A = this chain, B = another copy of it.
Amino acid sequence: MDLTRSPLARPFPDMPPVEGVTMRVARARYKNWDRADLTYAELAEGTTLAGVFTQNVCCSTEVEMGREQVKLGRARALIVNAGNSNAFTGYRGRDAVEQIMAQVAHHLECAPSDVLVSSTGVIGVPLPKDKAQEGVAAALHAEPCSWEDATSAIGTTDTFTKGAASAAMIGETRVVLNGIIKGSGMIAPDMATMLGYIFTDAAVEPAFLQQCLSGANARTYNCITVDSDTSTSDTVLAFATGKAGNVPLSSFDDPGADAFMAALEDVCRSLAQLVVRDGEGASKFIAVNVSGAANDDSARRVGLAIANSPLVKTAIAGGDANWGRVVMAVGKAGEPADRDKLGIAFGGTWAARDGLPVADYDEAPVAKHLEGQEIDITVELGIGEGRATVWTCDLTHGYISINADYRS
């Protein structure tokens, strides 16, 4: 299948080196293709680890093992396999993961549990152990590569490479954060999403790194959706090598902790939005701003009900300010709402307020706004102080073409 680059794509950013992180790629040829599809990140001794994972009950071995490894809070390596998710493959899938962990651990002289493994691609086919072994062997001795090459190697149906970088001052020490991510379909994160990795040279205690990542996750990855389908492999990992030499962060009381958290959330939000920008068939990027909800969580659920509505998404695709469909989606969310207090705006122009169409509603600026690629929908529920922003894309013929033609 030829995938054309998303019209909403963003260029890959300049990303600085992160001390203690070396990226390498190799060709394991998990599919019948000639491209790097195995990524190896070597991490300095002392690297701490945090992670968030899919809540899908039918998750992959990699997710199950990753959950246990995050409890230990340390990492020396990451292997990402692209083209085969190894999900729903039972004991054979687990064998393949354990083989990879042992192979890398032997090379680095570390514990197998220090080796994180992720896989993405077709469900139900055990990861071939022979290809994995040869691919890992090649990656262990490959020349270091660029961040963009590594990002390209973790991709599957992605139409562009997605990265984000940020920095923060911790005391007198400047730390950097680099994030890379893949994903474009089966996107409706539930505690985590897709495959995303954040690398920082900051020194951060694992428990606090987990606290920061979980917090950022709630306001970024858990606030995006492409198609309401939650993957079996969703994983976001954060690695902190500590090579920047700052006093290790262990709580929000530490100087620089707020700056680090802000930088981390910035990277997470950028990565999450980039996934939406590569949503299968997407032609428009949609921000759904919900305010006046009973609480923030309720606002997020109302936002997701709107963002997941096929009727809202197709209306936006057609440039139609069909606010009746937004009313419908608010009403079906199952959250506290009052029809007679509801307000809806597109691009800052109110179409309805206080439960009634606006009397002198001028559709011209709304029509103009909907012609663009960046769409804002604002919903005011009028019953409380809760607010959230959810990001999604429109639903187009492109989504159908990609997913009705893609063969398992």
Contacts and interface: CB of A to CB of B under 8 A. Distances in A.
Interface residues of A, number: 67
Copies held by the complex: 2
Interface stretch (A148-156, A259-267, A318-326): A318-326
B403 A400 contact: no
A58 interface: yes
A328 B186 contact: yes
A105 B152 CA distance: 70
A231 interface: yes
Contact of A228 (B57, B85, B124, B308): B308
Interface stretch (A215-223, A235-243, A352-360): A352-360
Interface stretch (A66-74, A203-211, A309-317): A309-317
Interface stretch (A8-16, A87-95, A192-200, A290-298): A87-95
Contact of A123 (B55, B327, B399): B327
Contacts of A188: 332
A384 to B, nearest CB: 15
B330 A58 contact: yes
Contacts of A311: 185-186, 227, 229, 403
A124 B88 CA distance: 46
Max chain B CB contacts within 10 Å: which of A59, A125, A228, A321? A228
Contact of A400 (B59, B85, B397): B397
A88 B339 contact: yes
Interface in A351-369: 352, 355-357
Contacts of A229: 309-311, 325, 328-329, 332
Contact of A340 (B90, B318, B328, B399): B90
A399 B314 contact: yes
Interface of A: 55-59, 85, 87-90, 122-125, 185-186, 188, 190, 227-232, 308-311, 314-315, 317-318, 320-325, 327-335, 337, 339-340, 342, 352, 355-357, 395-397, 399-401, 403-408
